[in-house]
Structure 1
Amino acid sequence: MSLPRRTTTLTRLTNETKVQVSLSLDGGVLPAFEPCKHFPQTSPEEATRIVPVPEAAHSTQFTPTQQITINTGVGFLDHLLHALAKHAGWSLAVRCKGDLFS
């Protein structure tokens, strides 16, 4: 018996902050982000899959079993989310824009 993959994508838009998350609790390939005017596509392949973000190289890891790319704008939060996803075996992509107070 094969269980369905446990994946989701989420977009949260407020006046101050724009956040997109793609998560697979089983690891592997992530579903693509939902189209959003606040995060324009930089390549045609972004419509079908998650593409590593060059400016988030410090918190990006793509392997056959796990895809992780985190870009929140807060380095320590990027590190914490990356470590959580890595050790939990998740595939996780997060991108944020907006107010940052650090």
Structure 2
Amino acid sequence: MGNSEITRKTGETKIQLSLSLYGTGESQISTGCGFLDHMLTLFAKHGRFDLTVECKGDTYVDDHHSVEDIGICLGMAFAEALGNGAGITRYGHIILPMDEALILAAVDISGRGHLEYGLEIPTEKVGTFDTELVEEFLIAFTRKSNMTLHIQQMAGKNSHHIIEGAFKAIARCLNMAVMIQEAYRDEIPSTKGVL
């Protein structure tokens, strides 16, 4: 438990991704989309996940396929690395400031993939990145990771700060949720006995 490697190849993308949940925040990210590289780098750092992502995608069309497929792969990696979830804390939450932006995030590693998305990003782009792709990434991630994620913007007008705050907040929540409780190492954190 704790490590995973995902390879996914479609007609639109080829992705290799490795994840260690209990790392130091080291990352090597090359997605073909500079803004996403930045977000995944800080995601790894703030979650203390070791993360490697290499994506070759049809970015000459746009970034949509690459962003969504990386979300799929990252979700698959979390699901694989968590195994049956024995011993994990399961829940995490944070209110995170990023300059004028304030983000609330909460996660439940529940076995049920669900996203409640409440970001109101004021611009259509940050640089060349289509800001609508943040939601697409998170939909793909939550579906494949089988997690419930609530992400809510409480304040903020700067698109970059809102998105960066969201990625940092999600990483911090996940770091809390995947932590092993030594006293319960062999227990599944659910009355059902499975997540």
The bucket for the TM-score relative to the shorter chain is 0.5 to 0.7
Q: Select the residue among 90, 93, 96 that pairs with 2:49.
A: 90
Query: Quick one: distance in 2 between partners of 1:17 and 1:98?
Result: 4
**Is 2:10 the counterpart of 1:26?**
no
Partner SS for 1:73: coil
RMSD over equivalenced CA pairs, Å: 1.2
What's the CA shift string for 1:16-69, capped at 9, x where partnerless? 110110000001xxxxxxxxxxxxxxxxxxxxxxxxxxxxxxxxxxxxx44310
**Residue of structure 2 in register with 1:11 after alignment:** 7
Higher fraction of helix: 2
Greater RCO (CA < 8 Å, at least 6 residues apart): 1
Q: Select the residue among 30, 33, 41 that pairs with 1:71.
A: 30
Greater CA radius of gyration, 1 or 2?
2
8 Å CA contact 2:32, 2:57 repeated in 1: no
Partner SS for 2:43: helix
Query: Quick one: distance in 2 between partners of 1:68 and 1:24?
Result: 10
What's the CA shift string for 1:63-89, capped at 9, x where partnerless? xx4431000010000000000110000
> How many residue pairs align between the two structures?
61
Query: Quick one: distance in 2 between partners of 1:93 and 1:9?
Result: 9
Query: Quick one: distance in 1 between partners of 2:57 and 2:43?
Result: 23
Q: Select the residue among 40, 44, 58 that pairs with 1:81.
A: 40
Provide runs of 4+ in structure 1 moved above 2 Å. none
Q: Structure 2: where are the runs of 5+ without partners?
A: 64-195
Q: Structure 1: where are the runs of 5+ without partners?
A: 28-64
CA drift of 1:98 comes to: 2.0
Query: Taking structure 2 as the reference length, what is the TM-score of the superposition?
Result: 0.30
Query: Quick one: distance in 2 between partners of 1:97 and 1:91?
Result: 20
Specify the code of the residue in structure 2 equivalent to 1:11: T
Specify the code of the residue in structure 2 equivalent to 1:92: L
Partner SS for 2:45: helix
Query: Quick one: distance in 2 between partners of 1:97 and 1:83?
Result: 21
